[in-house]
Amino acid sequence: MSKVIRIGTRDSELALWQANTVKDKLEALGHETRLVPVKSTGDLVLDKPLYELGITGIFTKTLDIAMLNGDIDIAVHSMKDVPTALPKGIVQAAVLERGNHYDILAYKNNEEFLAERDATIATGSLRRKAQWLNRYPTHTVVDLRGNVNSRLEKLKTNDWNGAIFAGAGLQRIGLKPENTIGLTWMVPAPAQGAIVVVAMENDPEIREACAALNHEPTALCTQLEREFLRILEGGCTAPIGAHASIDKNEQVTLKGVLLSYDGQKKLEADFSAPLGKHQNLAKDCANSILARGGKVLVNQSSVGVLKTQVFSTKNLSQDQQQLFKEGLTVKSEDFIKISPNRLPKTLLNQPHENVIITSKNAVETLFTQSSGELKFKNIYCVGRKTKRLIENRIGPVKHQAKNAQQLAEYLVEYMEGLEVTYFCSNIRMDELPKILGKNNITVNEVETYATKLSPSEIGEEVEGVMFFSPSTVESYILKNSSDKIAYCIGESTAQEARKHFKEVKVAKIPTAESVIELVNGDY
């Protein structure tokens, strides 16, 4: 291959170890490679708008965005962290031979606490917590977050008896706590210990290069484990474990487990089949568990038996729910309802010299109700996502700003003429027409759609709230307190949130996936 293979990786110690492993293997095959550490999402620059590619709602990571953006050729992941549905256009190119798939317990002093009634174990994983409490129901399990190094440091500085880690993660970065026990009885996360390489589907040269790294037995086993997970989870965060293996007689065995959050209920399945006749093992295991009460456990996890940590003011899809870190409990509900208004044909057919559009809802209403090409000379908008939608549905955008205030300031300085048509909601950005009016610019407001606030009360235990528009903030505050962290999709939403919340965080790009990534960064 003549081109240099750009390998995308996070810059954590473990991620770099995994990426360098792939780099070494590709270079041993004669390929030239280069590591590309990716720290943040940055801006999306795609040849086609996202909605044309069908990618909405399924971004998994910053590295996926970098690949779709053309900044990297392949990405390297811990396979257990990858959602069962990859973003459209990205495919699995290789699975490396699996390392240690077991969980291990790092402990202090001695092992006597295992036989005692009272002990405290730390883990951020629902699966590990549920299995530990199933085996040791009188123990206490506390939450533990952070990278491997910080978690080990927390174990030293807290009065816990032990903490649970993935064995592969510790081994790969050369960390070996003094006292450890292999938890061979604990069913691991699906694909735990495996490294996956993903590439663009439309890049056969790169995929062919990566195919030489594929370890077929690992690929087969992890595929069964992930299929078992996919069938059971349904977008929820239930404690699920799975492990498949192939013995010397080419017999494939899959063991799966589903538990309640508190570990009191546990359903297991263990099926085997000869290699070549193993295709239905995941389905058989999952159906066996579902038929014995698994549906009840899955439904309990869907409604949230655990205290909700994060609340979304917009309903999230199953794909989006899967993007949250394991152990994070999230609920979602639409806090605003949208209904398009019927616009006069005379208004849609007449020419407009200067037009302002600040939301996707306005774009959709204009597009669906216009019978032909809209005669908009200069279109001004807020937000990159709205800009892409306008240019796909209506026409070119003259200028796009991050928020309403910046757009108003630009129009005062650079707009030709002293009149604009503002296609807005009944609940609109007050600062924009106010600033324009003060500068003698006439604003003709057209209520394109109606936004109805539809808030619900959320629990006091919620730590953070996700907002996707200024209206969702307004709706939320009608029935709820502001003693939370506000995670906002863009600057306009953040401006509204700052009126009420002390701590406001803004996503790097205006997508639901980027807001989810923002949340994950805190957990």
Cβ-proximal residues to 323 (8 Å cutoff; 6+ apart), any chain: 59, 60, 83, 513, 516, 517, 520
User: How would you label 413-430 residue by residue, b for 16+ Cβ within 10 Å and e otherwise?
Assistant: eebeeeebbbbbbebbbe
User: Are 340 and 448 spatial neighbours (Cβ–Cβ below 8 Å)?
Assistant: yes
Buried b or exposed e, range 56-89, using 16+ CB within 10 angstroms: bbbbbbbbbbbbbeeebbbbbbbbbebbbebbeb
Amino acid at site 373: E
Active-site annotation holder among 71, 81, 262, 334: 81
The DSSP secondary-structure symbol of 471 reads H
* CA atoms of 391 and 327, how far apart (whole Å): 40
Q: How far apart, in Å, are the Cα atoms of 454 and each of 217, 333, 337, 515?
A: 51, 10, 7, 21
CA distance 20 to 31: 14
Q: Nearest-CA neighbor of 491 among 522, 475, 467?
A: 467
CA–CA gap between residue 396 and residue 379 (Å, rounded)? 7
Among residues 343, 351, 341, 356, the alpha carbon closest in space to that of 442 is found at 356
CA angle in degrees (0–180, nearest 5) for 269-282-213: 125
In angstroms, what CA-CA distances link 68 with 176, 223, 352, 383, 521?
Answer: 37, 24, 36, 20, 22
Q: What is the DSSP string of 175-192?
A: ---SSEEEETTSPPPTTT
The rounded distance, in Å, linking the Cα atoms of 475 and 494 is: 14
From 44, 26, 11, 57, select the one nearest 320 (Cα to Cα). 57
The H or E element spanning position 380 is strand 376-382
Q: Which amino acid is at 266?
A: K
State how far the Cα of 349 lies from the Cα of 345, in Å rounded to an integer: 6
Residue with tokens 């059971």: 232
User: Is 64 an annotated catalytic residue?
Assistant: no
Work out the number of other CB atoms within 10 angstroms of the CB of residue 224.
27
Task: Write out the catalytic residue numbers.
Answer: 81
